[in-house]
Amino acid sequence: MTETQSDVAVVTGANSGIGRAIALHLAAQGLSVYGTVRDIGRATKLQAMAAEAGVGVSLVELDVADSASVEAGLARVLDEAGRVDVLVNNAGVGGNGVVEEVTIERYAEVMNVNLHGALRCLKVVLPGMRERRHGTIVNITSVAGRFGAVAQAPYVASKWAFEGVSEELAQELAGFGIRVAIIEPGVTKSAIFAKNVEDTTPAGPAYEPHLRRMFQFYAAGHAHATDAFEVAKLVHHAITTDAPVLRYPVSWAGPEILARRPRMSDEDWVALGTIDDDDTYYRAFSDAFGIDITTAALGEA
């Protein structure tokens, strides 16, 4: 599918990180882009970057966690543009903590944004796409949606669910000429690093090593994180390629983990959890997945 100058794209969570890069890059490629943000008054960096790049991104206040907000925001887009050709479900939140210790309320909060938020947007744009038999849905999931990333229980639960819904959706929409693409980032340069601690449910003594090892993974990733515009370029490719695939792993650790986890037995995966010494764990993880999360990796950026 090749887009035209007038194709309309909506990118949720466009105020920072991957969403901002996608909105700016798609606008630079000639799409008419609407970027959703929770507060236009806080989108000054996005506006400045758009001005510097000489592109236009129309801002729409929209909170994917609230059905009325989604309906009102997307109604404005449909009123102004007449249709949505591309929906990029990018808005999301982190959620760290071990399965036992995270509250049910926290699971629900993360799921409400990362899964239900996308579903709210889909329900608004899909009737028009089906009627026109044209459109693309791009769902930004995560490498953590394909393997049980330790001490990220709410995030894993939400992204794994989003992967399943996306796979189902791809088959359901194929007969209507609507493409679904799943983008699976690993560690990407984003403000999410600064929020990682506040998005964490503190662990008791029994589980403290699990959080420590999770933070070690992200510390290594932070040192080598992929630029968000690399993800944005992949999104544009997924929209426009004549040879689409369903899943697109990208960014530091993403392709490596997703390639190697299926070749690793479940028993070997579980056995990683029996390793008592941190350094031994880091070496075993690095050997298993081909990415260096040892202490030495933190200073090699």
3-class DSSP string for 29-76: CCCEEEEEECCHHHCHHHHHHHHHHCCCEEEEECCCCCHHHHHHHHHH
Q: In what order do the strands lie in the sheet with 8-11?
A: 57-61, 32-37, 8-11, 86-89, 135-140, 178-185, 247-250
Which tokens go with 83? Answer: 């249709």
Active-site residue set: 155
Which tokens go with 16? Answer: 């920072």
Task: Give the position of tokens 């997945």.
Answer: 289
Strands (E), 194-263: 247-250
| CA distances in angstroms from 127 to 154, 173, 206, 224, listed in the order given | 31, 11, 49, 41
Which tokens go with 157? Answer: 């639960």
